[in-house]
Chains A and B, each alone.
Chain A
Amino acid sequence: NAGVTQTPKFQVLKTGQSMTLQCAQDMNHEYMSWYRQDPGMGLRLIHYSVGAGITDQGEVPNGYNVSRSTTEDFPLRLLSAAPSQTSVYFCASSDHPGTWMRDEQYFGPGTRLTVT
């Protein structure tokens, strides 16, 4: 298993540009999520999905869109990049062991995004 993969690893954007961060997992996990990591602030949830066709907002959703057309893929779109979106982005997935509770999260390697 490749686990959770993310592309690209690094990206530099200019203010106003748009782009999509890719995330894929091959573990057949229902739950997927996107986080951003900023110094001194830990991981903050951007958007999450509990299954194909279902997405919802997390703590910091503004400026980002997501979709979940398949179980495997969960892309994150930046609509119009701003310097405040400079961060490291992590995608994660986890399983539901038959209940509402989720199992441990598996994280991708991260995407380091700089917006100038």
Chain B
Amino acid sequence: ILNVEQSPQSLHVQEGDSTNFTCSFPSSNFYALHWYRWETAKSPEALFVMTLNGDEKKKGRISATLNTKEGYSYLYIKGSQPEDSATYLCALDNYGQNFVFGPGTRLSVLP
């Protein structure tokens, strides 16, 4: 089973702070890396799908990068807001025809 890791497990930041967290994986044998945002009591929602080494995606204050050669992806949030509080999941769409999720990073943004 492909192992996807995320760090940190959780973090607390003040409103206005910028933050970033990491998704790491052992192999470049996958089709795509996905990032999802998961608010409490809701369902995960897709943020980005990235496929190529060096890919960069941006949506508002949130952006992500992918480095398949070194096996990591970063998610950045600029100027965090309380509504950014959620668990952020990464997942690999791998050659075995399934998705493998990381355990998530739980972000709390304090007003």
Instruction: Give the nearest-CB partner of A104 in chain B.
Output: B46
- Stretch of A39-47, A66-74, A79-87 on the interface side: A39-47
Contacting residues, chain B, for A43 (C-beta < 8 A): 44, 89, 91, 101
Q: Chain B: interface secondary structure? A: strand
**Contact size range, A:** 20 to 34
Least distance between B18 CB and chain A CB atoms (Å): 25
Binary contact track B25-51/A, C-beta < 8 Å → 1, others 0: 000000110101000001111100101
Interface residues of B (CB under 8 A from A): 1, 31-32, 34, 36, 42-46, 49, 51, 89, 91, 93, 95, 97-104
Least distance between A37 CB and chain B CB atoms (Å): 9
- A104/B49 contact (C-beta < 8 A), A43-B89, A109-B43, A110-B43 known: yes
Instruction: Give the nearest-CB partner of A40 in chain B.
Output: B103
Instruction: Give the nearest-CB partner of A101 in chain B.
Output: B31
